Structure 1
Amino acid sequence: MCFTEPEIDYLATQLVGRLATVGRRGAQVRPVAFRLNEDGTIDIGGPDITAGAEYRNVRERPDREVALVVDDTAPASGAPRPARGRGRRVEVRGRAETLTLDEPPLRPESFAREVIRIHPRTVASWNVDPDRPDGTRAAG
């Protein structure tokens, strides 16, 4: 697993991330649902992910790197509060592929069997892990 325990806990509390891909018209950023898998990969999805530009961009350019940012400014109750004016963030960069799974990774009404799977290469987090308040590291 390429994530620290505090990063795993943080990602489990978040519902939406922002996925950046590159397509024919340049860079695109879209809000997306996601799930962190036990092996450290991340599945991106939604009820009809295949209709979106992000799915098409990854399918047409599987060798391109993508980035997922999950962030907030108001932590959940009981979580360590970031310094005033600073939020929390996890950024993941890596290779992505499109897949069709046997079962939807989450509730079928909110997540289809088709997903974008990110294989992280680098992870950076800010104000999430007290042992690593700022910084980037290789995911491997």
Structure 2
Amino acid sequence: MTFTETEHRYLAEQALGRLATIGTTGTPQNNPLTYRVNTDTGTIDIGGPHLSESQKYRNVQANPQVSLVVDDITAEPVGPGGQRGRGIEIRGVAEILHGVPPLMEGFSDELLRIHPRRIVAWNLDGPGPNARDVRTGTANTRT
């Protein structure tokens, strides 16, 4: 399983994430967007209206390495020193899919599908960071 139960529940509760991609000149780009978690494959789908015309799409064509961050602020402290921030970063490789059902009404029939390689979660299962490589399941606190 790619995501822990807590991570999956958190991702399902949130509506907004930010996708970071790298352009052909090495310049980073960060876009707010919606997403869908595929529980059967442990992947994440990202769509949009006219997705194939977007800069993030062109960036993924040139360099499929991406990072998706989903985070929020809680009403009560959840971390050390009274921290109220929590979230998850999913680093991985994006695949471009064409001719698929739109993610939601008004979206085109293309998707970016993220195959997670590293997950860094903070203040979800308790205080502090929790990082692991998805392929090996190796856990550590290095982010």
Please give the TM-score of this superposition, normalised by the length of structure 1: 0.83
Q: Which runs of 5+ in 2 are unaligned?
A: 136-143
Equivalent residue, structure 1, for 2:121: 125
Shift of 1:2: 1.1
1:108 aligns to 2:105 (yes or no): yes
Amino acid in the other structure paired with 1:118 = I
Q: Identify the residue that residue 48 of structure 1 maps to in structure 2.
A: 50
- Distance, in Å, in 1 between the alignment partners of 2:31 and 2:100 is 25
Residue correspondence of structure 1 range 1-140 to structure 2 within 5 A: 1-25=1-25, 26-38=27-39, 39-62=41-64, 65-74=65-74, 82-83=78-79, 84-105=82-103, 107-109=104-106, 111-130=107-126, 133-140=128-135
SS at match of 1:8: helix
Quote the sequence identity (%): 45
Q: 1:6 is paired with a residue of what secondary structure?
A: helix
Question: TM-score normalised to the size of structure 2?
Answer: 0.81
The Cα shift of 1:93 comes to 0.4
Shift of 1:60: 2.4
Higher RCO, Cα 8 Å, sep 6+: 1
Residue by residue, what CA displacement relative to the aligned partner does 1:19-78 show, whole Å, maximum 9, x if unpaired? 11100241111111111112111111122222221111001223xx21000000037xxx
How many equivalent pairs are there? 131
The one-letter code matched in structure 2 to 1:66 is V
Instruction: Give how far 1:101 is off.
Output: 4.2
SS in structure 2 at match of 1:112: coil
Alpha-carbon distance in structure 2 between the residues aligned to 1:30 and 1:15: 14
RMSD between aligned alpha carbons? 1.9
What secondary structure, in the 3-state scheme, does the structure 1 residue paired with 2:74 have? coil
Shift of 1:133: 4.5
